[in-house]
Amino acid sequence: MIATEHPLCLGLETSCDETAAAVVSRAGEVLSSVVASQAQLHAQFGGVVPEVAARRHLEASLPVVERALSEAGVRWERISLLAVTRGPGLPAALLVGLAVGKALALARGLPLVGVNHLAGHLYAHALGDPGQNARSLPRPAVGLVVSGSHTDLCLLPAAGGLVLLGTTLDDAAGEALDKVARLLGLGYPGGPALERAAREGDPTRLSLPRPLGLLRGPRQEQPGVVGGQYAFSFSGLKTAVATAFGRDPGLAVPDVAAAFQQAVVDTLVQRTLSAVRDHRVHTVLLAGGVAANGLLRTRLHTELHALGVELRVPPVRYCTDNAAMIAAAGWMAWQQGGAADWDLDVDPGLPLAL
Ligand code: KG4
Ligand code: ZN
Protein backbone atom coordinates (compact mmCIF):
# COMPACT_ATOMS: atom_id res chain seq x y z
CA MET A 1 0.00 0.00 0.00
CA ILE A 2 1.65 3.29 -1.05
CA ALA A 3 0.92 6.71 0.40
CA THR A 4 0.60 8.70 -2.81
CA GLU A 5 -1.61 8.87 -5.90
CA HIS A 6 0.93 10.93 -7.86
CA PRO A 7 2.86 9.42 -10.82
CA LEU A 8 6.20 7.88 -9.81
CA CYS A 9 9.72 8.22 -11.21
CA LEU A 10 12.48 5.70 -10.68
CA GLY A 11 15.85 7.48 -10.48
CA LEU A 12 19.23 5.83 -11.04
CA GLU A 13 22.58 7.37 -10.05
CA THR A 14 26.03 5.94 -10.90
CA SER A 15 28.21 8.98 -11.59
CA CYS A 16 30.93 8.23 -9.02
CA ASP A 17 31.19 5.62 -6.26
CA GLU A 18 27.59 5.29 -5.11
CA THR A 19 25.12 3.01 -6.86
CA ALA A 20 21.75 4.52 -5.98
CA ALA A 21 18.11 4.09 -6.95
CA ALA A 22 15.01 5.83 -5.63
CA VAL A 23 11.28 6.14 -6.19
CA VAL A 24 10.00 9.73 -6.07
CA SER A 25 6.54 11.05 -6.90
CA ARG A 26 5.81 13.97 -9.19
CA ALA A 27 5.09 15.97 -6.02
CA GLY A 28 8.61 15.32 -4.71
CA GLU A 29 7.60 12.67 -2.16
CA VAL A 30 10.42 10.18 -1.52
CA LEU A 31 8.97 6.66 -1.33
CA SER A 32 12.38 5.02 -1.19
CA SER A 33 16.04 5.97 -1.55
CA VAL A 34 18.61 3.19 -1.64
CA VAL A 35 22.34 3.99 -1.73
CA ALA A 36 24.97 1.25 -2.07
CA SER A 37 28.26 2.94 -1.26
CA GLN A 38 31.54 1.65 -2.69
CA ALA A 39 33.58 3.67 -0.17
CA GLN A 40 35.04 0.57 1.51
CA LEU A 41 36.04 -0.91 -1.83
CA HIS A 42 37.98 2.21 -2.83
CA ALA A 43 39.43 2.93 0.64
CA GLN A 44 42.28 0.46 0.01
CA PHE A 45 43.37 2.59 -2.98
CA GLY A 46 42.99 5.93 -1.13
CA GLY A 47 40.47 7.20 -3.71
CA VAL A 48 37.99 6.16 -6.38
CA VAL A 49 39.38 3.86 -9.11
CA PRO A 50 37.11 4.48 -12.14
CA GLU A 51 37.24 0.96 -13.64
CA VAL A 52 36.60 -0.65 -10.25
CA ALA A 53 33.67 1.73 -9.72
CA ALA A 54 32.15 0.91 -13.12
CA ARG A 55 32.40 -2.84 -12.54
CA ARG A 56 30.73 -2.54 -9.13
CA HIS A 57 27.94 -0.38 -10.63
CA LEU A 58 27.33 -3.17 -13.13
CA GLU A 59 26.96 -5.73 -10.32
CA ALA A 60 24.93 -3.50 -8.01
CA SER A 61 22.53 -1.59 -10.32
CA LEU A 62 19.74 -4.14 -10.74
CA PRO A 63 19.68 -5.33 -7.09
CA VAL A 64 19.61 -1.68 -5.95
CA VAL A 65 16.73 -0.91 -8.36
CA GLU A 66 14.78 -3.94 -7.10
CA ARG A 67 15.36 -2.86 -3.50
CA ALA A 68 14.16 0.68 -4.26
CA LEU A 69 10.92 -0.72 -5.72
CA SER A 70 10.38 -3.12 -2.84
CA GLU A 71 11.10 -0.47 -0.15
CA ALA A 72 8.65 1.86 -1.92
CA GLY A 73 6.11 -0.97 -1.92
CA VAL A 74 5.43 -0.67 -5.65
CA ARG A 75 5.68 -2.82 -8.77
CA TRP A 76 7.06 -1.74 -12.13
CA GLU A 77 3.51 -1.09 -13.42
CA ARG A 78 3.25 1.85 -11.01
CA ILE A 79 6.38 3.60 -12.44
CA SER A 80 5.77 6.28 -15.12
CA LEU A 81 9.26 7.66 -15.74
CA LEU A 82 12.90 6.55 -15.55
CA ALA A 83 15.58 9.15 -14.80
CA VAL A 84 19.29 8.42 -15.07
CA THR A 85 22.36 10.60 -14.44
CA ARG A 86 24.11 11.43 -17.73
CA GLY A 87 26.88 13.69 -16.36
CA PRO A 88 29.06 15.07 -15.01
CA GLY A 89 30.99 12.16 -13.54
CA LEU A 90 33.33 9.27 -14.31
CA PRO A 91 32.79 8.23 -17.97
CA ALA A 92 32.75 4.46 -17.41
CA ALA A 93 30.52 4.75 -14.32
CA LEU A 94 28.05 6.99 -16.18
CA LEU A 95 28.00 4.61 -19.16
CA VAL A 96 26.96 1.69 -16.95
CA GLY A 97 24.08 3.68 -15.43
CA LEU A 98 22.86 4.92 -18.80
CA ALA A 99 23.03 1.43 -20.34
CA VAL A 100 21.05 -0.01 -17.43
CA GLY A 101 18.55 2.87 -17.66
CA LYS A 102 18.04 2.35 -21.41
CA ALA A 103 17.64 -1.40 -21.01
CA LEU A 104 15.04 -0.98 -18.26
CA ALA A 105 13.18 1.72 -20.21
CA LEU A 106 13.06 -0.50 -23.31
CA ALA A 107 12.06 -3.64 -21.40
CA ARG A 108 9.35 -1.87 -19.38
CA GLY A 109 8.14 0.47 -22.13
CA LEU A 110 8.92 3.58 -20.07
CA PRO A 111 10.08 7.05 -21.10
CA LEU A 112 13.70 7.82 -20.11
CA VAL A 113 15.24 11.19 -19.24
CA GLY A 114 18.94 12.04 -18.76
CA VAL A 115 19.68 14.15 -15.69
CA ASN A 116 22.44 16.64 -14.90
CA HIS A 117 23.94 15.38 -11.62
CA LEU A 118 24.64 18.93 -10.37
CA ALA A 119 21.06 20.02 -11.09
CA GLY A 120 20.14 16.89 -9.15
CA HIS A 121 22.05 18.19 -6.11
CA LEU A 122 19.97 21.40 -6.25
CA TYR A 123 16.78 19.36 -6.65
CA ALA A 124 17.47 17.75 -3.26
CA HIS A 125 15.67 20.92 -2.15
CA ALA A 126 12.51 19.80 -3.93
CA LEU A 127 12.15 16.56 -1.97
CA GLY A 128 9.70 15.94 0.84
CA ASP A 129 8.13 13.18 2.88
CA PRO A 130 5.02 11.44 1.50
CA GLY A 131 2.06 13.80 1.80
CA GLN A 132 4.21 16.93 1.50
CA ASN A 133 4.31 18.89 -1.72
CA ALA A 134 7.82 20.26 -2.06
CA ARG A 135 8.41 20.04 -5.78
CA SER A 136 9.51 23.52 -6.94
CA LEU A 137 12.80 25.22 -6.06
CA PRO A 138 12.44 28.51 -4.16
CA ARG A 139 13.27 31.58 -6.31
CA PRO A 140 14.99 33.97 -6.43
CA ALA A 141 17.83 32.29 -4.59
CA VAL A 142 21.59 31.85 -4.58
CA GLY A 143 22.70 28.21 -4.84
CA LEU A 144 26.02 26.79 -3.64
CA VAL A 145 26.75 23.29 -4.96
CA VAL A 146 29.83 21.86 -3.23
CA SER A 147 30.80 18.29 -4.04
CA GLY A 148 33.84 16.11 -4.61
CA SER A 149 34.28 17.42 -8.13
CA HIS A 150 32.43 20.77 -8.23
CA THR A 151 32.24 24.08 -6.42
CA ASP A 152 29.57 26.09 -8.19
CA LEU A 153 27.94 29.31 -7.03
CA CYS A 154 24.80 30.18 -8.99
CA LEU A 155 21.79 32.43 -9.11
CA LEU A 156 18.27 31.06 -9.57
CA PRO A 157 16.45 34.13 -10.91
CA ALA A 158 12.75 34.64 -10.14
CA ALA A 159 11.95 34.26 -13.85
CA GLY A 160 13.47 30.76 -14.05
CA GLY A 161 16.68 29.19 -15.35
CA LEU A 162 20.10 29.37 -13.73
CA VAL A 163 23.05 31.76 -14.02
CA LEU A 164 26.43 30.32 -13.10
CA LEU A 165 28.20 33.02 -11.04
CA GLY A 166 31.45 31.28 -10.22
CA THR A 167 33.17 27.96 -10.22
CA THR A 168 36.53 26.59 -9.11
CA LEU A 169 39.63 27.35 -11.13
CA ASP A 170 41.39 24.22 -9.88
CA ASP A 171 40.37 21.72 -7.17
CA ALA A 172 36.80 21.38 -5.95
CA ALA A 173 36.20 21.99 -2.23
CA GLY A 174 35.49 18.29 -1.57
CA GLU A 175 38.49 17.22 -3.64
CA ALA A 176 40.76 19.53 -1.59
CA LEU A 177 39.29 18.16 1.66
CA ASP A 178 39.84 14.59 0.41
CA LYS A 179 43.45 15.31 -0.67
CA VAL A 180 44.39 17.01 2.61
CA ALA A 181 42.74 14.19 4.57
CA ARG A 182 44.93 11.74 2.66
CA LEU A 183 48.03 13.86 3.35
CA LEU A 184 47.15 13.79 7.06
CA GLY A 185 46.67 10.02 6.97
CA LEU A 186 42.97 10.28 7.78
CA GLY A 187 41.85 7.82 5.10
CA TYR A 188 39.05 7.80 2.57
CA PRO A 189 36.47 9.26 2.20
CA GLY A 190 38.35 12.29 3.44
CA GLY A 191 35.71 14.98 4.05
CA PRO A 192 33.89 13.29 6.94
CA ALA A 193 37.20 12.00 8.41
CA LEU A 194 38.70 15.50 8.30
CA GLU A 195 35.60 16.94 9.95
CA ARG A 196 35.85 14.39 12.77
CA ALA A 197 39.58 15.10 13.30
CA ALA A 198 38.96 18.88 13.22
CA ARG A 199 36.55 18.59 16.18
CA GLU A 200 39.54 17.78 18.40
CA GLY A 201 41.75 20.51 16.90
CA ASP A 202 42.55 24.18 17.40
CA PRO A 203 42.28 26.07 14.08
CA THR A 204 44.48 28.94 15.33
CA ARG A 205 47.61 26.75 15.63
CA LEU A 206 48.29 27.03 11.89
CA SER A 207 47.82 30.20 9.87
CA LEU A 208 46.63 29.51 6.32
CA PRO A 209 45.94 31.94 3.45
CA ARG A 210 42.41 32.87 2.44
CA PRO A 211 42.25 32.97 -1.38
CA LEU A 212 39.67 35.77 -1.27
CA GLY A 213 39.16 38.96 -3.26
CA LEU A 214 39.21 39.56 -6.98
CA LEU A 215 41.08 37.05 -9.08
CA ARG A 216 42.67 38.64 -12.08
CA GLY A 217 43.88 37.31 -15.41
CA PRO A 218 42.42 35.71 -18.50
CA ARG A 219 40.52 33.04 -16.58
CA GLN A 220 38.06 35.75 -15.53
CA GLU A 221 36.71 35.62 -19.06
CA GLN A 222 35.68 31.97 -18.82
CA PRO A 223 32.34 31.59 -20.56
CA GLY A 224 29.48 31.22 -18.11
CA VAL A 225 31.47 32.63 -15.20
CA VAL A 226 30.59 36.26 -14.56
CA GLY A 227 33.60 38.24 -13.33
CA GLY A 228 36.25 36.87 -11.04
CA GLN A 229 34.92 37.76 -7.61
CA TYR A 230 32.93 34.54 -7.29
CA ALA A 231 35.65 32.19 -8.55
CA PHE A 232 37.12 29.65 -6.15
CA SER A 233 40.65 28.27 -5.89
CA PHE A 234 41.65 25.62 -3.37
CA SER A 235 44.88 24.15 -4.70
CA GLY A 236 47.08 26.91 -3.19
CA LEU A 237 45.52 26.28 0.18
CA LYS A 238 46.19 22.57 -0.16
CA THR A 239 49.84 23.29 -1.08
CA ALA A 240 50.16 25.62 1.94
CA VAL A 241 49.06 22.76 4.21
CA ALA A 242 51.46 20.31 2.57
CA THR A 243 54.35 22.78 2.95
CA ALA A 244 53.53 23.61 6.58
CA PHE A 245 53.13 19.93 7.46
CA GLY A 246 56.41 19.03 5.74
CA ARG A 247 58.26 21.85 7.51
CA ASP A 248 56.89 21.10 10.96
CA PRO A 249 55.94 17.43 11.33
CA GLY A 250 55.31 18.20 15.02
CA LEU A 251 52.06 19.93 14.00
CA ALA A 252 49.16 17.98 15.46
CA VAL A 253 46.89 16.43 12.81
CA PRO A 254 43.63 17.68 14.45
CA ASP A 255 45.01 21.25 14.50
CA VAL A 256 45.93 21.11 10.79
CA ALA A 257 42.54 19.57 9.95
CA ALA A 258 40.74 22.31 11.92
CA ALA A 259 42.76 25.12 10.28
CA PHE A 260 42.21 23.73 6.79
CA GLN A 261 38.49 23.14 7.30
CA GLN A 262 38.16 26.70 8.63
CA ALA A 263 39.97 28.16 5.60
CA VAL A 264 37.78 26.23 3.12
CA VAL A 265 34.60 27.20 4.97
CA ASP A 266 35.67 30.89 5.20
CA THR A 267 36.15 30.98 1.43
CA LEU A 268 32.80 29.33 0.67
CA VAL A 269 30.96 31.61 3.12
CA GLN A 270 32.63 34.80 1.85
CA ARG A 271 31.72 34.14 -1.80
CA THR A 272 28.16 33.17 -0.89
CA LEU A 273 27.63 36.34 1.18
CA SER A 274 28.95 38.48 -1.71
CA ALA A 275 26.52 36.84 -4.12
CA VAL A 276 23.61 37.33 -1.69
CA ARG A 277 24.41 41.04 -1.28
CA ASP A 278 25.06 41.66 -4.99
CA HIS A 279 21.88 39.91 -6.13
CA ARG A 280 19.69 40.92 -3.18
CA VAL A 281 18.20 37.49 -2.57
CA HIS A 282 16.70 36.29 0.69
CA THR A 283 17.24 32.56 0.23
CA VAL A 284 20.37 30.42 -0.14
CA LEU A 285 20.24 26.77 -1.23
CA LEU A 286 23.21 24.72 -0.05
CA ALA A 287 23.75 21.40 -1.85
CA GLY A 288 26.28 18.63 -2.59
CA GLY A 289 28.31 16.27 -0.42
CA VAL A 290 30.31 19.01 1.33
CA ALA A 291 26.98 20.49 2.49
CA ALA A 292 27.04 17.63 5.03
CA ASN A 293 29.84 19.51 6.82
CA GLY A 294 28.69 20.79 10.20
CA LEU A 295 30.98 23.84 10.31
CA LEU A 296 29.87 24.99 6.85
CA ARG A 297 26.20 24.60 7.76
CA THR A 298 26.58 26.43 11.08
CA ARG A 299 28.75 29.28 9.76
CA LEU A 300 26.52 29.91 6.74
CA HIS A 301 23.41 29.78 8.89
CA THR A 302 24.80 32.28 11.43
CA GLU A 303 26.14 34.76 8.87
CA LEU A 304 23.05 34.63 6.67
CA HIS A 305 20.67 34.85 9.61
CA ALA A 306 22.38 38.12 10.62
CA LEU A 307 21.48 39.49 7.16
CA GLY A 308 17.88 38.26 7.39
CA VAL A 309 18.57 35.60 4.75
CA GLU A 310 17.24 32.05 5.02
CA LEU A 311 19.64 29.13 4.54
CA ARG A 312 18.06 25.94 3.24
CA VAL A 313 20.01 22.71 3.63
CA PRO A 314 18.66 19.27 2.69
CA PRO A 315 18.95 16.41 5.19
CA VAL A 316 22.46 14.91 5.04
CA ARG A 317 21.21 11.77 3.23
CA TYR A 318 20.12 13.98 0.30
CA CYS A 319 23.33 16.11 0.31
CA THR A 320 25.70 13.26 -0.53
CA ASP A 321 25.09 11.33 -3.76
CA ASN A 322 21.68 9.67 -3.94
CA ALA A 323 19.06 8.89 -6.57
CA ALA A 324 16.08 10.68 -4.97
CA MET A 325 17.55 14.01 -6.12
CA ILE A 326 18.05 12.52 -9.61
CA ALA A 327 14.41 11.42 -9.77
CA ALA A 328 13.25 14.89 -8.62
CA ALA A 329 15.39 16.55 -11.31
CA GLY A 330 14.08 13.90 -13.71
CA TRP A 331 10.52 15.17 -13.30
CA MET A 332 11.78 18.66 -14.17
CA ALA A 333 13.66 17.36 -17.25
CA TRP A 334 10.52 15.49 -18.34
CA GLN A 335 8.39 18.62 -17.97
CA GLN A 336 10.91 20.70 -19.94
CA GLY A 337 11.73 18.38 -22.80
CA GLY A 338 9.83 15.09 -22.61
CA ALA A 339 11.51 11.73 -23.14
CA ALA A 340 15.07 11.51 -24.41
CA ASP A 341 15.90 9.81 -27.72
CA TRP A 342 17.56 6.38 -27.72
CA ASP A 343 20.83 8.03 -28.80
CA LEU A 344 21.04 9.83 -25.43
CA ASP A 345 24.71 9.81 -24.42
CA VAL A 346 26.73 10.48 -21.29
CA ASP A 347 28.52 13.83 -20.89
CA PRO A 348 31.30 13.49 -18.26
CA GLY A 349 32.05 17.24 -18.38
CA LEU A 350 28.48 18.54 -18.25
CA PRO A 351 28.39 21.94 -16.44
CA LEU A 352 25.70 22.94 -13.93
CA ALA A 353 22.51 23.97 -15.72
CA LEU A 354 18.78 23.61 -15.11
O1 KG4 B 1 28.15 15.14 -3.81
P2 KG4 B 1 29.07 14.05 -3.40
O3 KG4 B 1 28.52 12.95 -2.52
O4 KG4 B 1 29.73 13.37 -4.62
C5 KG4 B 1 30.11 14.11 -5.75
O6 KG4 B 1 29.22 14.46 -6.55
O7 KG4 B 1 31.32 14.42 -5.83
O8 KG4 B 1 30.29 14.76 -2.65
C9 KG4 B 1 31.36 14.03 -2.16
C10 KG4 B 1 32.30 14.97 -1.43
C11 KG4 B 1 33.60 14.29 -1.04
O12 KG4 B 1 34.68 15.11 -1.40
C13 KG4 B 1 33.46 14.16 0.47
O14 KG4 B 1 34.72 14.17 1.13
C15 KG4 B 1 32.65 15.38 0.81
O16 KG4 B 1 31.69 15.44 -0.22
N17 KG4 B 1 31.99 15.27 2.11
C18 KG4 B 1 32.27 16.06 3.16
C19 KG4 B 1 31.48 15.59 4.24
N20 KG4 B 1 30.73 14.53 3.79
C21 KG4 B 1 31.05 14.36 2.48
N22 KG4 B 1 33.11 17.09 3.28
C23 KG4 B 1 33.20 17.68 4.48
N24 KG4 B 1 32.49 17.30 5.56
C25 KG4 B 1 31.63 16.26 5.49
N26 KG4 B 1 30.93 15.89 6.55
ZN1 ZN C 1 27.38 14.52 -6.28
- For residue 108, report the distance from its CA to the centre of ligand 1, in Å: 34
- For residue 74, report the distance from its CA to the centre of ligand 1, in Å: 31
The number of the ligand nearest the C-alpha atom of 53 reads 1
CATH superfamily of 8-127+319-337: ATPase, nucleotide binding domain (3.30.420.40)
If residue 333 lies in a helix (H) or strand (E), which one and from where to where?
helix 324-337
If residue 61 lies in a helix (H) or strand (E), which one and from where to where?
helix 50-72
- For residue 279, report the distance from its CA to the centre of ligand 1, in Å: 27
- For residue 291, report the distance from its CA to the centre of ligand 1, in Å: 8
To test the pocket of ligand 1, the residue of 16, 94, 177, 262 to mutate (highest count of ligand atoms within 8 Å of its CB) is 177
Please provide residue 71's backbone torsions phi and psi, each rounded to the nearest 5 degrees: -70, -30
Question: Which amino acid residue places its CA nearest to atom 23 of ligand 1?
Answer: 191
Sorted by where each begins, the domain ranges of the chain are 8-127+319-337, 141-313
Distance (Å, rounded) from C-alpha 6 to C-alpha 283? 28
- For residue 249, report the distance from its CA to the centre of ligand 2, in Å: 34
Question: Which amino acid residue places its CA nearest to atom 21 of ligand 1?
Answer: 289
Amino acid making up residue 180: V
Measured from the Cα of 172, ligand 1's closest atom is 12
Give the sheet arrangement for strand 310-312, strand by strand.
Answer: 163-166, 151-156, 141-146, 283-287, 310-312
Q: pLDDT value at position 60?
A: 97
- For residue 205, report the distance from its CA to the centre of ligand 2, in Å: 32
- For the four alpha carbons of 332, 333, 336 and 338, in that order, the dihedral sign comes to negative
Question: Which amino acid residue places its CA nearest to atom 2 of ligand 1?
Answer: 289
Q: pLDDT value at position 4?
A: 83
Q: Which SS3 state, helix, strand or coil, does residue 116 take?
A: strand
Question: Which amino acid residue places its CA nearest to atom 16 of ligand 1?
Answer: 289
Measured from the Cα of 189, ligand 1's closest atom is 14
- CATH architecture assigned to 141-313: 2-Layer Sandwich (3.30)
Q: If you write DSSP's letter for every residue of 228-286 in order, what string do you get?
A: STT-B--HHHHHHHHHHHHH-TTS-HHHHHHHHHHHHHHHHHHHHHHHHHHHT-SEEEE
Q: pLDDT value at position 215?
A: 46
Measured from the Cα of 181, ligand 1's closest atom is 14
Could you give the angle at which helices 253-279 and 235-247 cross, rounded to 10 degrees? Answer: 160
- For residue 245, report the distance from its CA to the centre of ligand 2, in Å: 30
pLDDT in tens, the chain (354 residues): 467 889 999 999 999 999 999 999 999 999 999 999 988 888 888 888 999 999 999 999 999 999 999 999 999 999 999 999 999 999 999 999 999 999 999 999 999 999 999 999 999 999 987 766 667 899 999 999 999 999 999 999 999 999 999 999 999 999 999 999 999 999 888 999 999 999 999 999 999 988 755 444 334 444 445 447 899 999 999 999 999 988 887 899 999 999 999 999 999 999 999 999 999 999 999 999 999 999 999 999 999 999 999 999 999 999 999 999 999 999 999 999 999 999 999 999 999 999
Question: Which amino acid residue places its CA nearest to atom 8 of ligand 1?
Answer: 289
- What are the pocket residues of ligand 1 if the criterion is a CB atom closer than 6 Å to any ligand atom? 16, 147-149, 174, 177-178, 189-192, 195, 288-290, 292-293, 320-321
